[in-house]
Amino acid sequence: MKIDTSIIRDFLVGVDPEGAKGDKDFLLSIDLIILTLERTQKEIDTPKEPENDFDSWANELETKEQPTCSISSQEDCVACGS
């Protein structure tokens, strides 16, 4: 759902239109509220990276090229370090 910040700004200014004209702190507060809403909306709309959990770690290990080891040629063994 997209937040229409212009409607929210108009609503907040409309609460006290006379006070909003001369109160810079009030206008700054409205701007901060709008900025927070826009950033929150951006976070909601941005796809998230898959979490780095055990399942993704195990899948990564399964899809990687597996090291090979030969008992007859232990010098070439990279898996066990023998």
Segment 20-76, tens digit of pLDDT: 777 888 888 888 998 998 888 888 877 777 667 888 888 888 888 876 666 677 666
In this predicted structure, what is the pLDDT of residue 74?
66
Could you give the CA distance from residue 8 to residue 3 in angstroms, rounded to a whole number? Answer: 9
Q: Is the dihedral of CA 68, 74, 76, 80 positive or negative?
A: positive
In this predicted structure, what is the pLDDT of residue 81?
55
Backbone angles phi, psi at 40, to 5 degrees: -65, -40
- The 3 state secondary structure assigned to 28-54 is HHHHHHHHHHHHHHHHHHCCCCCCCCH
